[in-house]
Amino acid sequence: MAPPPVSNAAPMTRRGFLKTASGIIGLSVLGLPGRGQGAGAGVSTPLGPVPGVAAQRIEGLAKVTGQKIYARDFRAGDMAGWPDHQWHALYLRARTTQEAFLGLDLAPLPPEAAPTRVILGSDLDPRLFDAPVQFERDLHVDDLLSAKAAEQEKAAKDGSFNLPDGLSFDLLVMPGTTPNFLGQAVALLLFDSLAAYRAARRFLAGDDGIVQHYGPGEGPDGTPLPEQPFDPRTLYVKDPGFDYAGTHAETYAREAPGVQARIRKALDEATGLIRQPIRAEMRAMDPMFMEPEAGLAWIDPARREMQLVLGTQSPDGDLRNIASMFGSAGSPVPELSHVTLHSCYPGGGFGGRDSSPFSLMLALAVAFADGNPVRLAYDRFEQFRVGLKRHATTAEGTLYAHDDMRLEAVQLSMSFDGGGRRNLSPYVASLGALCAGGSYRLPVADIHAEALHTENISGGSQRGFGGPQAYFAIETGLDDLAAAQGWDPMALRQANLIAEGDTTVTGGPIEQSLSLPEMLDIAAAHPLWAERAEIRAAHEAEGRTYGTGLAMSLQAYGTSGDGMVAAVHLERDGTLTVQSDAVDMGNGSATTLGVTIGPILGANATRVEMGGYTLFPQTGLSDDSDNPDRWDDPMWTQKGTGSSSACLTGLHQVNTVQQTAQALLRGSLLVAAARLWDGGPLSAEDVVWDAGALRPAGGIGAPLTLAALAEVVHEMGLPTGALGHAYFQNVWVEADFDTPGGALRLQLDGLAYYHGSKTAPQPIPRRDGSYPAPETARYSRYVWAPCVNVVGLTLDRASGRVQVENVLSVLNAGHIHVPELVSGQSQGGVAMAISYSLLEDMPPGMEGPADGRWNLNRYHVARAGDVPLGDRYVPGARAQELITLPQPPGSPRVGRGIAEAVMCSIPPAISNALRDATGVRFASLPITPDKILGGLAP
């Protein structure tokens, strides 16, 4: 039975190009796939009639009615122009790193499970891995990597991997060599029938080692060696005379170790300082997004085009890396001319689909499928086995404080288990090091963070990006300090809050209002904190052990330099379309971007198209780091686009869409309105939107609907769409752009206008730009979404089971675009954090999911009963209350990225509550009943 038909819409096609060893490869991104279907077909739900207000999610109807929108939903038969018959791919994976993989013996497989083709590492041309597979994330970290690359390139042998930030280990283990990590693919099996694929899966379930042979051979090949760090490591040392942000990179590298020694000596010798040890360890965590990774691929032989169907958070990096590999001299698909991504909504992400190796494995599979489409679909066992994880982490150090509660220094070493692949691990460690300073003013810091290569499952970008681990360390340390000194934990924090004008542990300045004292005051006054003694007494009267815990986080949003791109189109019928490079993984960015244009253009978007990686090439801008002119070149930008992570919606993506909408309004619509009103030039202040129509602000003039304006815009040949690129690095790049509506000053570094179509816009070079100072990249982060959490919980001393009774979250979210989405992120973050703290236990090595036998019967995630479901604190009932800081009257409507903010300090608040309840510090996550019972044992 076929799914219900959906309406056609114009396909969303955007093109870009990548120069590879074998030539130029075109890159395209399309919307949701389907026979005769176009982008957004049947997906969009009306956002609502009130501009700026979302009545529901724009993609909500498609999701709640079960329409095909996830990559896992699609089969070759759904794809227009593809052959119907599809092959199925299955990777066999390493079960040891102690012996060499020698090969396969498929004899044990029953005949009905025999694969059509088997590909081993020896079937791949080594030159396939000469292409630079890149994982860029943070400018200041990337700068260190580039410097290292330049050094290594000088010493590189022919045929070696040419960049340290490239792919360090083989996609398929070369027979005769030892796997570098558990779960590394050793073989690709391809099946031309679903029945054979299913039979093989059934046979190999739980132990694919039955067909693998291991024995003596060559050791692991690759860099770094086991237990060695992935470069670069992060060291932040700060004292009144020296810090990372204020020191040139080369000077810092040379002098920081000496400063560190100086700091340590001074702290060792200081008298009168209180020393509070910090020690915490956290197990790895699986994002457990609900849709296991899956995708389709096909190489059209006539057009030499690879098509992929994927739900990914990083369409930019995925496409580029696939094209790089397949454009290399060792490509199994010579003369590949084009790579097209059909961008699907991911069924959850949380960072686990950011720079995931899945897309590379899918592309590799289709290369050997004899021209047939291929489906690669992990089941949950496999997803646990190889999917990117939040890093297991150890943190050890000391907090130093004066006896008047002022903090003097934090000394901390953090070690992240990066697992097999480097992926984004060094960046995670880097941000973790920044977060280790917490929400506090610290005159002195000595923070070291590194990500180690181990045999374990690879760590990656996970919600919080190092923050959860860092805040667990600093916030439990602070609480222990308060308890040891007899200080009120609220007062200790109040005495040390960082504020505008202070500097972080990198030395980067805080140049944003944080309102931390007010947030703590709100928490302090709330009954959950203010009446904690009475609440505890009430529980104890009923025989229950109860405790209250407080913790804070200062989670940044954005990275050290972010580029975003958006397009806004006025269709002929007067409806509005928004396009963005961002991916909506459920966080609601599509809905937010759709309504954010409402106040500017009089109506919410009717269509929102996400994942538009190739919008950036249309801007005409280049982000070539070798351009010597840099910002002096009016068509250059520091960064094109990046992954959808780092909470980029609330400020970064929204502002980009808003500025682009302004460019359309002021550069086109107002020109049309002036024509219709027979008046002089109009500025945005001269008009208002009223019930979907444009009116003069002051008085007389017929109301103009968007449809009427669209007609005139098309007739006059005015821009029918605007394409804007923006860059944020501590400040927005601003520039003047000459438009049909006059010169416009915008927070964009690139602007182009469409005329009647959604391709080939006309770029307008910027002029009189103002740019971020380059050295600001070393601040690491610039903007913050602080959160205070108070947790009240009960503990069953007989079983060790913990129940979270109440959560209070005080969040500085800035201007809130869609309240329901903010509260949803808060609620999801609370549940994920409770789960991480108490339930999710994933041992390393073959004791854990690397053995291929883990699923939700062994890895426990929070269910509804584990989470307080009320939304307002009521004595005696369970609830989670979110208080968002009201914005002062007249504040600009600027949002903050909050998807990680509430989650980050719940784990230490839970540990602090348990310490309050029992007097025992539980600093090893997850805090399982066994650990509690062990800690309480006399």
Partner 1 sequence: MTIRFTVNGVGFELPDSRGQETLLDFLHDELNLTGTKLCCGIGVCRACTVQVVKPPSPAPSPTISCSTALATLDGTQVSTIESVARGGRPDPVQQAFLDQFAFQCGYCAPGFVMAARMFLSGLQAQPVPPDQLEAAMMEAIGSHICRCTGYVRYFEALRSLAEAVNAGEAIEL
Q: Enumerate binding residues for partner 1 (CB under 8 A).
A: 1-4, 45, 55-57, 59-70, 72-75, 77-78, 194, 198, 287-292, 345-350, 379-381, 585-588, 820-821, 823-824, 826-832, 855-857, 861-865, 867, 869, 871, 880
Q: How far is the CB of 385 from partner 1 (least distance, A)?
A: 14
Say how far apart CA 817 and CA 833 lie, in whole Å: 24
Considering only CA atoms, which of 289, 290, 345, 820 is closest in space to residue 582?
345
CB of 45 or CB of 276, closer to partner 1: 45
The tokens describing 919, both together, are 């007097």
**Closest distance of CB 686 from partner 1, Å:** 36
* Residue for token pair 């007739």: 715
In DSSP notation, 57-110 reads -TTHHHHHTT-S-SGGG--GGGSTTS-S--EEEEEEE---SSSEEEEE--TTS-
Taking the CA of residue 814 as centre, how many other CA atoms within 13 Å lie in the half-sphere pointing to its CB?
Answer: 21
At 297, phi and psi to the nearest 5?
-150, 155
Q: Are 283 and 475 in contact (CB under 8 A)?
A: no
Nearer to partner 1, 67 or 656 (CB): 67
Q: Tell me how far apart the alpha carbons of residues 734 and 933 are, in angstroms, rounded to a whole number.
A: 58
> 151: which 2 tokens?
């050094």
For helices 249-269 and 139-155, the axis angle rounded to 10 degrees is: 110
Least distance in Å: CB of 56 to partner 1? Answer: 4
Please identify, using beta-carbon distances, which residue of 201 and 238 lies nearer to partner 1. 201
CB of 555 to partner 1, least distance (A): 18
Other beta carbons within 10 Å of 820 = 14
Where are any strands of DSSP class E within 467-558?
545-556
Nearest approach, Cβ of residue 859 and partner 1 (Å): 10
What is the smallest separation between the CB atom of 74 and partner 1, expressed in angstroms? 8
**Which of residues 349 and 848 has its CB atom nearest to partner 1 in the complex?**
349
Contact by Cβ (8 Å): 772, 784:
no
Closest CB to partner 1 among 136 and 293?
Answer: 293
CB of 289 to partner 1, least distance (A): 6
Q: How far is the CB of 106 from partner 1 (least distance, A)?
A: 24
Strand spans (E) along 454-531: none
Shortest gap between Cβ of 857 and partner 1 (angstroms)? 6
For the CB of residue 564, give the shortest distance to partner 1 in the complex, in Å: 22
CB 499 within 8 A of CB 441: yes
**Least separation, in Å, of the C-beta of 589 and partner 1?**
11
Q: What angle do CA 201, 207, 212 make, to 5 degrees?
A: 95
Q: Distance between CA 388 and CA 285 in Å, rounded? A: 9
The total number of residues written for the chain in this structure:
938
Cβ 16 vs Cβ 125: under 8 Å: no
Q: Count other C-beta atoms under 10 Å from residue 194's C-beta.
A: 14
Alpha helix (H) residue ranges in 781-900:
819-838
Question: In angstroms, what is the minimal distance from the CB of 406 to partner 1?
Answer: 37
Residue 343 Cβ, how far from partner 1 at the closest point, in Å? 15
- In a 10 Å sphere around its CB, with 0-12 CB exposed, 13-18 middle and 19+ buried, how is residue 626 labelled? exposed
> At its nearest, how many Å lie between partner 1 and the CB of residue 422?
26
Please, which residue, 20 or 809, has the CB nearer to partner 1? Answer: 809
Least distance from C-beta 794 to partner 1, angstroms? Answer: 18
SS3 assignment for 145-190: HHHHHHHHHHHCCCCCCCCCCCCCCCCCCCCCEECCCCCCEEEEEE
Phi then psi for residue 318, to 5 deg, are -60, -50
**Burial annotation 258-293 (CB, 10 A radius, 16+ → b, else e):** ebbebbeeebeeeeebbebebbbbbbbbbbbbebbb
Dihedral sign for Cα 264, 472, 424, 443, please: negative
Q: How far is the CB of 833 from partner 1 (least distance, A)?
A: 10
For residue 381, the Cα-to-chain-centroid distance in whole angstroms is 23
Q: How far apart are CA 617 and CA 29, in angstroms?
A: 12
Q: Which CB sits closer to partner 1, 108 or 206?
A: 206
CB closer to partner 1, 67 vs 178: 67
Rounded Cα–Cα distance for residues 793 and 806 (Å): 7
Please name the residues in contact with 338: beta carbons below 8 A apart, sequence gap of 6 or more.
25, 26, 27, 28, 303, 304, 305, 306
Crossing angle of helices 906-918/819-838, nearest 10°?
A: 50
Residue 757, both tokens: 């179509």
The CB-of-815 to partner 1 minimum distance in angstroms stands at 18
* DSSP helix/strand/coil, 907: helix
Of the pair 91, 230, the CB lying nearest partner 1 is at 91
State yes or no: cis peptide before 426, omega within 30 of 0: no
Q: Contact at 8 Å (CB) between 404 and 272?
A: no
- Report the Cα–Cα distance between both ends of the chain, in Å, rounded: 64
Smallest gap from Cβ 817 to partner 1, in A, equals 13
Comparison of 288 and 428: residue with beta carbon closer to partner 1: 288
* Between 447 and 831, CB nearer to partner 1: 831
